[in-house]
Amino acid sequence: MNIYVRPDGTAQCVYNEEINLSQLGTLDIRRASHVEPIANNPGKWGADLAPVGGPFLGPFDTRAAALAAEIAWLDNELTQRSVHVTK
């Protein structure tokens, strides 16, 4: 897990349970994307990053592949800027 500390002292990361983040302070956890089956493409998965102003990624053959793409995209964005949920 990568944690990005911003100049104002806040931190952002893609949440997982690798460490207990509540030990760092007050948490504000928000959904940054949706990984779901693609309705018009049976058996395929997509990652919709619209909640943070991002693209739709996919189709992927497995949910695991869609999750990996979602995390890679979010982690790359977090290296460059603060990511804010818009929806």
In tens, the pLDDT along 12-64 reads 999 989 999 999 889 999 999 999 999 999 999 999 999 999 999 999 999 99
pTM of the model: 0.87
Enter the tokens of residue 76. 């790359």
Please write down the HEC assignment for all residues of 2-47.
CEEECCCCCEEECCCCCCCHHHHCCCCCCCCCEEEECCCCCCCEEE
d(CA 57, CA 48): 6
Does the N-terminal peptide bond of residue 59 adopt cis geometry, omega within 30 degrees of 0?
yes
